[in-house]
Amino acid sequence: MKHIRRLVIALLTFALGVAVAPIRFDVEGMGCGKVVDGGGFSITSYRSSYFVNLLSIHEAYISPEHANAIFDIRLRKAAKVIEVGPKFNRQGAVVGRRAMALFNSTESSGPSTEIFWTEGCLLHSIHSTSSLHVREFEKHQH
């Protein structure tokens, strides 16, 4: 009985340590290319300290209007829209539009979560099967 109690305490201590530790994101790969009717894009693949995959994508378009049109198209393709509103920079100024939505994914067994926002001619997006990871990653974007 004493050993079981120690094992339970050890497991609870480990679980608590994992729960309060911040999520780390390590780069797994990078790529770039061209977007249709626009400029270029870059994509970075990450794996979190919880072994969850995440993609960060930055697309450049020919105008802010074009970036907003792509934003609208992406919003219409969502299986479920969770949030839509303005995107603020670190100083609190509005820099564009932001949305968080669920998309049906053909690559994974469940839906993927995406946060995407405009910033002038740019469209940024973060994708993962974990909404917690998407939100946490967004906190560290500038």
Note the pLDDT of residue 9: 74
Residue 68 is predicted with a pLDDT of: 96
Report the pLDDT value the prediction gives residue 84, as an integer from 0 to 100.
97
| Contact (Cβ atoms closer than 8 angstroms) between residue 103 and residue 89 | no
Domains of the chain are 23-139 (3.40.1000)
The pTM score is 0.82
Instruction: Report the DSSP beta bridge partners of residue 85.
Output: 98
| Averaged pLDDT in 10-residue chunks for the chain of 142 residues | 74 63 90 86 94 95 94 96 94 95 80 95 95 92 70
Beta strand ranges found along the chain (DSSP E)? 25-34, 38-48, 53-61, 80-88, 94-103, 112-119, 122-128
Phi and psi at residue 61, in whole multiples of 5°? -115, 170
